[in-house]
Amino acid sequence: MLALLKYNLLSLWVRRTTTLATAGGIALVVFVLGASQMLSTGMRQTISGAGNADQGMVLDKDAWTEASSRMDHAAAGLVAAAPGVKRNAQGQAMVTEEAVAHLMLRSVLDPSRISTLQVRGVSANVFELRPEARIIAGRAIKPGTDEALVGKAVLGRYPGLRMGEQVDFSYSTKPTVVGVFEAAGSVYESEIWADLETVRRSFSFLANVSSITAQLESAGDLDGFSARLEADQQVGVSVASESAYYAKVSQGLPDVIGILGIVETLIFSIGAVLGALITMHASVSQRSREIGVLRALGFGRGHILLSFVVESAALGLGGALVGAAISLLTPLIEFRCMNFATGQEVAFRFMPSFTSLGLAVLAGTAVGAIGGLVPAIRAARVSPVQAMRA
């Protein structure tokens, strides 16, 4: 049997050009599948990476996202007094208010493109409550001044988003950029942060804020915290853990990418299977004499069938490995797109995962095997005497 397989693999080598062309088609199938799955995973990671399970996020009752939430900032007092809220070394409740809005800016790199960026008006204690964020250049904002911090992912890509430049919030408010921050690859890196008052003034917040986030003693305290606040009829809020909020807004876009990826993969697979079919079919026709010899030597139909299927599967595997290798280059690319759920543009990355790549390689091998099945059956039916006579 092994000797037979050696013949099959050598045949692939002999017909290098057609082997390469067919393997190329399969490489494409695996690349599309692998890359789209990696992007989908990366998107979910970027969005949900911003949320902590032990932080409670308080939003206006009817709001779906932070940017669409408006509630009276007097609610902050209520939140600080709720059960389960952690206190810092100075004994203060770890609670922060934020005003979240959207700003449309024209891309510097591609002037025909306008992006919607999320602006977050933050309180003085923002870094205490958001430990994943840290300044990597410049300094933090001085509270009460018109200054701004720019997330690493949007630095330099839009007008005004460079150290020392001014960001156009409104006709009368143009804060100066004093620092750059990163946030563990989460969505915060695609945001612009400024003083709470600056944002409230420029985006029609009046006496409102978007969200009040509280650090809890532990994730288990969320229920008590949540119950107390939601019970208060006067204020009308909804409470969820930060991680639950980000899990909610990580739906939609990653699913769409995943589905598009699978649809395109199926399309390419059809092309690849048919391509493999045409190639193996011609190959078997040309090799009928060789097959006749093999049969005359004593190899049974079953062995011939199996060996040809293995040949096309090997073709598939080779192409699949190349496709997988190329898809491993995608983490070098940044994919900027609007997260439908929140309406803000985010920079996403491709996240490699061994399971998805492994499955993609398996799919590629299967494509090769399926394409070669019918020709393999034909090969098995070759009659040795007639073949050698031809």
Partner 1 sequence: MGFGFSRLVVRNFYRSPLRAGMTVMTVAIMLAAFIFPRALVEAQEEQVRQVPNDRVNVRPKEGWSGSLPVRYADQIRELPGVRRAYATLVPALRLPGNEKVRFASKATDMEPFLAMIDELEAPEDQKRAFLADERSAFVDETLAAEQGWKLGDRVVFESRIYPGKWELTIACIFRSLREGFGKRTIWLHYSYLNRTLPKDKQDRASWIVAQMSEPNTGGRVAQEIDAHFDAAPNQTLSLEDRVAAQANLGNFRAILTALDVVSYLILVVVMSIVGNTLAMNVRERTHEFGVMRAIGFAPRQLGLLVLAEAGLLGLLGAAIGVGLSYPLFENLVSHALQDAMSFPPIVIHGRVAWLAVALGIGLSMLAAATPVYRVAQLRVTDALRRMG
- Cα–Cα dist 319/20, whole Å: 8
Distance CA 188, CA 186 (A): 5
Residues 182-211 that bind partner 1 (CB under 8 A): 202-206
CA distance 49 to 43: 10
Phi, psi of 148 (to 5 degrees): -140, 155
Under the criterion CB under 8 A, does residue 282 sit at the interface with partner 1?
yes
Amino acid at 322: V
Amino acid identity, residue 84? G
Q: Tell which one of 9, 45, 83, 116 touches partner 1 (CB under 8 A).
A: 116
Nearer to partner 1, 205 or 308 (CB): 205
Figure out which of the listed residues 8, 40, 115, 186 binds partner 1, where binding follows CB under 8 A. Answer: 115
The secondary structure of residue 115, as a DSSP letter, is E
Note whether 104 binds partner 1 by CB under 8 A.
yes
User: Which of these ranges, 1-9, 25-33, 40-48, 179-187, lies near partner 1 under the rule CB under 8 A?
Assistant: 25-33
Please state the closest distance from residue 171 (CB atom) to partner 1, in A. Answer: 4
Task: Please give the residues from 261 up to 280 whose contact with partner 1 meets the rule CB under 8 A.
Answer: 264, 267-268, 270-272, 274-275, 277-279
Q: Is 93 a binder of partner 1 (CB under 8 A)?
A: no
Residue written as tokens 């992912």?
153
Q: Among residues 86, 132, 244, 335, which is the contact residue for partner 1, using CB under 8 A?
A: 335
Count of alpha carbons within 13 angstroms of residue 353, beta-carbon side: 20
- Residue 172 in the binding site for partner 1 (CB under 8 A): yes
Three-state DSSP class for residue 213: strand
- Detail the DSSP E strand segments found in 147-234: 147-151, 176-182, 191-195, 208-209, 211-215
Extract the tokens encoding 132: 């994943």
CA dihedral 225, 231, 233, 237 (to 10 degrees): 40
341: Cβ–Cβ under 8 A, 6 or more apart, which residues?
Answer: 64, 65, 248, 249, 250, 251, 252, 253
What tokens does 326 get?
Answer: 């190329």
46-75 binders of partner 1 (CB under 8 A): 67-68, 70
Q: Rounded to 5 degrees, what are φ and ψ at 300?
A: -75, 170
Total residues at interface with partner 1 (CB under 8 A): 51
Q: Give the shortest CB-168-to-partner 1 separation in angstroms.
A: 10
Identify which of residues 268 and 299 has a Cβ nearer to partner 1 in the complex: 268
Which 206-225 residues touch partner 1, going by CB under 8 A? 206
Shortest CB 280 distance to partner 1, Å? 11
Nearest approach, Cβ of residue 272 and partner 1 (Å): 8
CB of 297 to partner 1, least distance (A): 23
Selected range binding partner 1 among 152-160, 168-176, 183-191, 379-387, rule: CB under 8 A:
168-176
Q: Are 68 and 82 in contact (CB under 8 A)?
A: no
Minimum CB distance to partner 1 smaller for 181 or for 203: 203
List of residues contacting partner 1 (CB under 8 A): 17-18, 21-22, 24-25, 28, 32, 67-68, 70, 101-102, 104, 107, 112-116, 170-172, 202-206, 256-257, 260, 264, 267-268, 270-272, 274-275, 277-279, 281-282, 286, 335-338, 343, 345
